[in-house]
Chains A and B, each alone.
Chain A
């Protein structure tokens, strides 16, 4: 295999440089590494990755914009997962590999994309994708209210239960888990809760679902606390007391809500 630093993958160049009788075992592997720690030199990493493929016929491209592409004839004994595992071990940080697009190039060669990202961002992406899939799969909208005051919960229930599936949680400790189990479209979250406060729950939810549509509730319109929640990703705030219309004003703006209200 030939190593081409400072050269972006070019299909014509790769084909010209190799003797391709049949495209059957030829693969084009695009390797993308996201959020690489500062202490890792990408060029040195590219050289190490090159060594994994060194014995195979083909070309290794490492372009100035940090893109790596391996154009090679794969032996049957080489397993894609092994490649991901080996590259992952070279990064020497908590990274995960995700397979991206799989396409067929104009000459019939299969092109695969390997995306390496820090485990935390990968987990976040997976949870986010899971939550989005859950929302798309079902045929109804779900609203969750986390509020320990029974009276306030009853008002929410009276206003919303005829149009939405409503999930009521009365305790801060269960809120994040229930959010992940139910993937609600809208979450109304009280700031003062027993066991765990609203801002802490909001933080936990935003870590796994940055697109979460969370509206904070409180009897105290404390500006600093509200701003803190908005900065963390809350989409709005409703001061108590509120009526159904105030809830609907926010629900209507939620992009995943399908019910006309």
Chain B
């Protein structure tokens, strides 16, 4: 396995099972779910729903922690903290979440040859 840089490899492997197959399956699941969470954040921002924004950011933060995606985790934590702020500020945070999401997905896709959805 190549060395992961965006994803904390040790943590990712600790949480995602003991076999290369389970690592690959979890990487695939992370990619699928990451897209769902980013879409949900966009929706929450457009609908100006503080609660939904907060809940999705919280959930995404949890998944980022499991995957060892530290920068993404911090971005989600920030999103959770600013759930009461304006749409402009949320857009900035969302951009940073999208950036970190893409980096994490790219790395997982490269390493585990998962389908890049």
Using a CB–CB distance below 8 Å, which chain A residues touch chain B? 148-152, 154-155, 158, 192, 194, 219-220, 240-243
Cβ contact within 8 Å between B58 and A219? yes
How long is the Cα–Cα vector from A241 to B11 in the complex, in angstroms?
9
Query: In the complex, how many angstroms separate the beta carbon of B40 from the nearest chain A beta carbon?
Result: 11
Partner of B65, one of A158, A192, A219: A219
Say whether, besides A151-B26, A154-B26, A243 and B58 are in contact (CB < 8 Å). Answer: no
We find that the number of chain B residues with CB closer than 8 angstroms to chain A is: 21
19 sampled A-B residue pairs with Cβ under 8 A:
A149-B33, A150-B33, A151-B26, A151-B63, A152-B62, A154-B25, A154-B29, A158-B16, A158-B17, A192-B55, A192-B59, A194-B55, A219-B58, A219-B59, A219-B65, A240-B65, A241-B62, A241-B68, A243-B14
How long is the Cα–Cα vector from A211 to B86 in the complex, in angstroms?
46
How long is the Cα–Cα vector from A192 to B62 in the complex, in angstroms?
11
Cβ contact within 8 Å between B59 and A241? no
Q: Is the interface of A mostly helix, strand, loop or mixed?
A: loop
- Name the A residues within 8 Å of B62 (CB-CB): 149, 151-152, 219, 240-241
Point out which of A150, A151, A152, A192 has the most chain B C-beta atoms below 10 A from its C-beta.
Answer: A151
- Name the B residues within 8 Å of A240 (CB-CB): 62, 65-66
Cβ contact within 8 Å between B67 and A151? yes
By beta carbon, the residue of chain A nearest B61 is: A219
How long is the Cα–Cα vector from A138 to B30 in the complex, in angstroms?
36
CB < 8 Å A-B pair total: 51
Does chain A have a CB within 8 A of B15? yes
Partner of B63, one of A149, A220, A243: A149
Point out which of A194, A219, A243 has the most chain B C-beta atoms below 10 A from its C-beta.
Answer: A219
How long is the Cα–Cα vector from A215 to B61 in the complex, in angstroms?
20
9 closest Cβ pairs, A-B complex: A219-B62, A241-B66, A241-B65, A151-B63, A240-B62, A158-B17, A243-B14, A149-B59, A243-B15
Query: In the complex, how many angstroms separate the beta carbon of B82 from the nearest chain A beta carbon?
Result: 15
Say whether, besides A219-B62, A240-B66, A155 and B33 are in contact (CB < 8 Å). Answer: no
By beta carbon, the residue of chain B nearest A155 is: B15
Q: Which of B16-63 contact A (CB under 8 A)?
A: 16-17, 22, 25-26, 29-30, 33, 55, 58-59, 61-63
Partner of A151, one of B14, B22, B30, B55: B30
Cβ contact within 8 Å between A220 and B59? no
- Name the B residues within 8 Å of A150 (CB-CB): 29, 33
- Name the B residues within 8 Å of A243 (CB-CB): 14-15
